[in-house]
Amino acid sequence: MTMGRRRQDKPRLIPEQDRRICGSICLCQLTIVLSCVSLVYLTVAVYMPSHKAFNSGIEPRPVMCQAVNTSLVNNCDWASCGEWCLTKTSGFCPQIHVTTRQNGTDITVENCTRLTTVACPPVNPGVLHKYNCNEDKVCGSLTGLFNCSLGHCANMSELFLCHYKADGIIVDSDKDNLKLNGFFDCYKSRCTKIKNMRNFYCERYCPRITTTANNVYIQYENNVYVGRCGQVMAHNEARGSEPGSPVQATPVWSDQGQEEVFLASCHTVNRNRDNRLSATDCINGTLLNATLVPDKSMNFTIYRHLVENTTKVADEQQRFLPMQHLLTIYNDSRLYINLEGCVNTLRGECRQFLNTHGNDGDNFTAQSRFPCFYNKNDSFLVVARFDLNKTWRELLIAVVVPSTLFVVSFVALVVIAHSVKVGDDA
């Protein structure tokens, strides 16, 4: 080395073995930290709910629930479904009350011809044509039934047939637009307010139900299956508020030329290729004198009236297709999506739950009907989702995976600490 020239040290090389050891230490430390964090989170998300499920007293066998009252409130103290379990539900608070009953009868309707289905789905009020009467000349010829708020009016006559008596104040929709608050019957901008809301109700415009030569009417949700059939067979029997039991196929009704039609309400109905209907959870099986059914066709309003006023039951012993009140367990209970009353998906699951479970029969729509789970000794609540086997699996995974990773990483760190020696030249 020459004078005046600084000695340049060569960069220190880290052996490949040391790199692997350092990487292993970092990986094990990261795994331990993540395992600890997951154990803390899973305490709230899995461990506590699992303990609650195992000690809830909820029956694992599902029964049937039917929505009777649904409301949306703000700043509620309870909700049927909340979007995040780590915070108190606020804002969107659906509250659903249901009746709880045992399952009805599973049936097959055989030897059918002329099978058709008529649907009358619920109406979305959001699609109604809206008028802003606060703008000039927009409501100069307003005609029909309108639901108004501060001069903004939606035309309900487009989708609903409403029954009411307009007995309130008279408002000119073109000049006194700010007085348009409530329901109004309008004719060329002369609007009369509907003051008495007790007798106010609306029906959807629906297709007509064909009645010619038909003797079976099976309703499910907002649909009716209609046809000319030979017989109805039952596959299980009811025992009141106690669980029913399966039986061999038993005739409940047959077409023997009587002037009678068969009516029932079921949870699901499927049409088979051999002109049969398979239906589950059928109740309210009744027989109606055929002369009371209108010729050719009838609307859904008349059909509902016939169903509600029919008193002759299909099975006098009420073993098959019994009346609903004979199966009732609880008349009124709170409905929760699960025992916690919340979900953690943050994907709008609660709004979907409200749409599928919260229809309480407003405007003559079908009430939501679905399997649920209840406590034999407590009518306070029922839940829509309850699966102890799934809870066991989730609990097992939530305990084994993070615990195993924690233990393995900890042992690895201990082994590395006792095996690796640091030299004096380090």
- pLDDT tens digit sequence for 319-348: 999 999 999 999 999 999 999 998 888 788
159: in domain: yes
Positive/negative CA dihedral, 377, 382, 384, 386: negative
With a CB cutoff of 8 Å and minimum separation 6, the contacts of 40 are none
My answer on whether 227 and 303 are in the same domain is yes
CB atoms within 10 A of CB 316: 7
Burial of 223: CB neighbours in 10 Å, binned 0-12, 13-18, 19+: middle
In this structure, the answer to whether residues 239 and 304 fall within a common structural domain is yes
Band of residue 197 on the pLDDT scale cut at 50, 70, 90: confident
Is the residue at 405 inside a domain?
Answer: yes
Of 204, 230, 247, the last residue of a domain is 204
Residue 135 lies in a domain: yes
Domain-located, residue 7: no
Same domain, 64 and 85: yes
**In 10 A of CB 420, how many CB atoms?**
13
Asked whether residue 139 falls in the same domain as residue 41, the answer is no
Same domain, 136 and 160: yes
The range of the structural domain enclosing residue 215 comes to 105-122+208-326
- Say whether both 296 and 322 belong to one domain: yes
Considering only CA atoms, give the Rg of the chain.
33
Residue 144 three-state SS: strand
pLDDT, mean over the chain: 88
Q: Is the pLDDT of residue 292 over 70?
A: yes
Tell which of 280, 309, 326 closes a domain: 326
Residue 25's pLDDT band (cuts 50, 70, 90): confident
Same domain, 229 and 316: yes
- Residue 425 within any structural domain of the chain: no
Query: Alpha-carbon distance 94 to 78, whole Å?
Result: 9
My answer on whether 212 and 198 are in the same domain is no
The percentage of residues in the chain with a pLDDT greater than 90, rounded to a whole number, is: 49
Which of 172, 204, 236 is the endpoint of a domain?
204
Instruction: State how many domains the chain has.
Output: 4
| Concatenated DSSP letters of 197-264 | -TT-EEEE--PPEE-TT--EEEEETTEEEEEE-SEEEEEEEEETTEEEEEEEEEEEEE-SS-SEEEEE
User: Do both 255 and 273 map to the same domain?
Assistant: yes
Strand partners, 73: 93
**Mean pLDDT, residues 101-129:** 89
Same domain? For 259 and 374 the reply is no
DSSP 313: E
Ranking 21-30, 144-153, 240-249, 392-401 by mean pLDDT, the lowest is 21-30
Work out the average pLDDT over 133-144: 86
* Residue 10 domain-assigned (yes or no): no
**Does residue 292 sit within a domain?**
yes
Residues 213 and 237 in one domain: yes
Do 292 and 415 lie in one domain? The reply is: no
pLDDT mean over 296-313: 90
Residue 8: inside a domain: no
Q: Phi, psi (5° rounding) for residue 152? A: -100, 120
Helix, strand, coil share (%) of the chain residues, nearest 5: 25, 35, 40
